[in-house]
Amino acid sequence: MNTQTTKKSNEEVKVLAINCLEEWAEKFFNYEKEFFSTLVGVDPFKNDGTLKKKYEHQKQDFTGQLPDGTYLNANYWYEHSYNELRMRVKICVNGGSYDVRPSTAFCQYEEKSLTLYKTENGVLINTDTEAEHLATKYDLSELQDIAAEIKEAAAIYEAVAAKMPYRFREVFYIERLTR
């Protein structure tokens, strides 16, 4: 049972979820990239876009607890279109208990899509399809600092934009930053 007693902020949960997504996307991507590298030049797909039985293999997944007591579920599936083989990675991080202590409970889903290989008429082509930003680790305090800078810059912008007469804002493309 999760022993978490303090509530994570929305920002903490989001950073944790994105960091887990990036970490597991990299692991899954490398695993599948290696497997499909042996199939370059082959058409491994049925007409419906799924893998032919002889090319099916064990996929990776993860369900477990992180060191901070948060639970993680990570998995993926394939998406084959006319010109590429993609994988969609989805994770869920959750913690606390909605039954025991609802004030500490959270659940966050995140997902991303990555191109494994390009295809031509279903045949895998050896192309560089490096996944962007894999294994990027975001730091909550750095993101909070950036958010503070953005808010400060927005306040300055709004003050200057207020000098422009309202009737001319549209023609000069002066937009309101705050909602």
Question: What's the predicted TM-score (pTM) here?
Answer: 0.83
**Which band of pLDDT confidence, cut at 50, 70 and 90, is reported for residue 141?**
very high
pLDDT of residue 41: 93
Chain-centroid distance of CA 104 in Å reads: 24
Q: Which of the residue ranges 32-46, 99-113, 162-176 has the most confident prediction, judged by mean pLDDT?
A: 32-46
Where in the chain are the domains? Answer: 10-136, 139-179
pLDDT at 4: 52
For residue 43, the model assigns a pLDDT of 92
Average pLDDT of the chain to the nearest whole number: 88
Q: Which of 72-76, 93-97, 160-164, 175-179 has the lowest mean pLDDT?
A: 175-179
3 in Cβ contact with 96 (< 8 Å): no
Candidates 71, 111, 79; CA nearest to 95 is 71
The DSSP code for 2 is: -
**Average of pLDDT values for 130-134?**
65
Mean pLDDT of 102-125: 90
| Element spanning 101, H or E | strand 101-120
Residues 61, 25: Cα–Cα separation, whole Å: 10
Element (DSSP H or E) covering residue 14: helix 10-37
The pLDDT of residue 133: 60
Most confident range, picked from 1-5, 45-49, 92-96, 132-136: 92-96
